[in-house]
Structure 1
Amino acid sequence: MSRSPRFRTLCKELNRLKQQFLPKINPTGSYSDRQLARTLAYRVLAHAEIESYLEERVWEVVIKAKKDWDGLGKAHRTLICLLAFSGQTMDTPPETLTPTKPSKHLLADKVKISKKLDLAIQRFKYVIDQNHGVKEANILALLLPIGVDSDDIDSALLATMNTFGEKRGIVAHSSATIYRTVQLPDPANEQNIVKQIIQGLLQVDELINKLTN
């Protein structure tokens, strides 16, 4: 499968974080407090890299689709899905193009497809800007509106992302003292879950690539 430049950057950054924060795997599972603290930092930073990758990739697709629409009049699947998931009502055509004066600007929003598209894109950009996670709900909110088919999204990846997101949330919203009394991080597990996510995201990356061709 071909990898987008952004996916290659993601892999590079995650590898850099692994080298800088994860200790050499100890078969006995014994690590110092410093190594465990750095392992938790790795989890949070890896989560941020993955979140950023998803947000930037989906926006790339939207920009490409909008550019093709503006320049070529080409309607991508992405634009159709943006409209479908924008929350806008699908109104029937008006009875007249010359309504009473007070409703003229409102009518333009109802009959001009360009205005509907602009509004859909604005709303999706807001979703991206307000996104703070990589759980299933976050992923669906990012992928479905750009045209990724729900049948093509791996349920195993979603489950893994849910687990990863929950673990990151525990670290981000708990003190180190409290967290260590609940569950100590395992560098080997942290490395493995990120590896699984990368394998799953490679398939997502390919799906996104198809939307830009």
Structure 2
Amino acid sequence: MATLIAYHELHNALNRLRSRLSSPARPVARDADLLIGDAYLVSTHAAIEFFFEELSRRAVYASLWKLRTSRVRSPLLEAIAATHYYACATSLPRGDLTVHGSVEEETKAAIAWYIRRLDGNNGVKRLNLLAMLLPLGFHESDFDPVWLASMDSFGGLRGDTAHGRPVTRFGRPPVDIAPSGFGPIKVPVWSTSATRTRTSQAPWDIDRTLSGLLPEMRLWDMRVRSRF
């Protein structure tokens, strides 16, 4: 089965990043390697996030095109419509649930709701992936739990790197500030020593992580395609 172009674009994007943000593997990474690794991690995360969002959008587009030409709603559109209805029916206040008078109105409302979910996505962790893919007719059991855990770790590492979070299990310690005329106010801040412990990975370590994640992404490309 041919894959959607979205995966080919991801593959090409990662190759371009690798050609620009790589360095020879060494037993001990140099500071320059770690700086390059930070940029490589953030960039590859962005490419993967775009892949899942674009895969979902193109699947919707292809299903709508099929609806236009055949007047038949694909399983993917049926799944989005059902998920949208359930989301509305189980939200409060229940009086806000709109009963649409036609399949066309129902489809338009469901697609608009789903696109808003994609527009609001920010990440590739487990909850992000479920929010994007479950409405397309998948079940949580369709996901490899080990892969989801690896995506959680990958997304968390990207967040730590992008936001400069130190590696510490204690979090930001609260510091008491007592402005004139006020009682003490607690402000959680990183200590100077903690900020020196931020995590970094060399490009070859990130490549090793990606090699374990990409095969499942290709499978999801094909799974989504099978829905329309």
Please tell me the TM-score bracket, short chain as reference.
0.7 to 0.9
Matched, 1:112 2:110: no
In structure 1, the partner of 2:40 is 42
Check the 8 A contact 2:7/2:51 in 1, yes or no: yes
C-alpha separation in 1, matches of 2:97 and 2:226: 36
Change (3 A) 1:79 1:42: same
Partner of 2:82: 84
Question: Matches of 1:108 and 1:4 in 2, distance apart?
Answer: 34
User: 1:16 matched to which residue of 2?
Assistant: 16
Aligned length: 195
User: 1:6 is matched by which residue type in structure 2?
Assistant: A
The answer to whether the aligner puts 1:129 opposite 2:114 as a matched pair is no
Measure, in 2, the Cα distance between the counterparts of 1:12 and 1:68. 28
Query: Structure 1 segments of 4 or more deviating over 4 A?
Result: 106-109, 175-180
Structure 1 residue ranges without an equivalent (≥5): 91-105
Aligned to 2:5: 5
Q: State the Cα deviation string for residues 86-119 of structure 1 (Å, max 9, x = none).
A: 22339xxxxxxxxxxxxxxx99843222111111
What one-letter code is carried by the residue in structure 1 that aligns with 2:161? V
Give 5+ residue unaligned stretches, structure 2.
91-95, 167-191
TM-score by length of 1: 0.82
Residue among 192, 201, 209 paired with 2:217: 201
Deviation at 1:36, TM superposition (A): 1.1
RMSD: 2.4
1:56 CA drift (Å): 0.6
1:14: how far off? 0.5
